Amino acid sequence: MYRLLIIAFSALFALSACTPQGPVLGPNGKPLPRVYKIKAVSTGKIQLRMLDSVNALRNVAGAAPLTLNSQLTAAAATHSRDMSVQNRPWHFGSDGSSPLDRVKRTGYTGIMRGENISETYETELETLSAWMDLSDTRNVILDPESTDMGFSWHQDKNGKIWWTLVTGG
């Protein structure tokens, strides 16, 4: 009998670990954001995943694919860090620089076509989806004149991510 009781409690304990955990809800009843922690070794994978996703969307829209550009990526990285320092998502740097200024500083010889920014706890693909929901940010992604893309981010210690996507042509 004692052995049967131990087996029953063990089974209940094991099954309780299998219970799916739902999202944690905030005081407003909406799910709280989950922290998407980015590891330094994931940089290349994330950038290529974003490039592939953007190019898939562009393909459907009939636009030519973009190429990942290191100079535009440097401009994006600089701005992502700067937005974190300023603690606000906006297109101007703490030194008053515009997206055009930042792209020019990297030595990019093409024309800067657009910039999308975001402050979020979401993944890069969730951020891309949010950008596609708005006409102005969607137009940056699908701009038929764009040929190059830079993409980077900065993640704060609390998990907040500052995403920046820059296009040029």
Interval 19-63: pLDDT, tens? 445 556 667 776 665 666 767 777 889 999 999 999 999 999 999
- Name the amino acid, one letter, at 147: T
pTM of the shown model: 0.78
d(CA 60, CA 70): 25
State CA 20 to chain mean position distance.
27
Interval 84-119: pLDDT, tens? 999 989 898 989 999 999 999 999 999 999 999 999
